[in-house]
Amino acid sequence: MSEHVSAFTRSAKPANSEEDRIRAAFGLPGGAPLPEVNKDTLLQYHEYLTQKLSFPFQALYAETQPPVRQLVRYATVIGLSDSVRRRLFGLFCRVEIDGAIVELPLADLGIREDDPNRQLIDDYLHWLWT
């Protein structure tokens, strides 16, 4: 299992290339400050990712179960959630796990390094957490 989990770790990239791609996602010129995370900018990033991501794609989700057990589960991401309420806490996606469809934070999923969606999601996470 450790081989599979390691393929889902985050990769290191130069911050300036991430920030340039994030600026492009918002239609900002090079060198412009990145916009703050708020309801409106999350909506903009949601629209951008909806156009750019290819669905479905595979991910890993670490589920914590009481008392202190953590299960790593394979999941299929089938789309982004349209829930405005959830956008206050970051973007959520619709995910199929063991035949059930649930909504999970996009930030909680591990994406394979070789997945074409990986860079888009890593850029979103860089913006969300900085």
Report pLDDT for 2: 42
Report pLDDT for 41: 94
Structural tokens at position 97: 């796990």
Distances (CA, A) of 120 to 17, 107, 125: 12, 12, 9
What is the residue extent of each domain of the chain?
Answer: 2-129
Report pLDDT for 118: 97
pTM, full prediction = 0.81
Nearest to residue 57, comparing CAs of 73, 74, 42?
74
CATH 2.60.120.10 correct for 2-129:
no
Query: DSSP assignment of 72-113, as one string?
Result: EEEEEEEEE---TGGGBTB-EEEEEETTEEEEEEGGGEEE-T
Nearest to residue 109, comparing CAs of 51, 31, 57, 33?
57
From the first residue on, what is the mean pLDDT of each consecutive set of 10 residues in the chain (130 residues)?
43 64 96 93 95 97 77 92 75 94 94 96 95
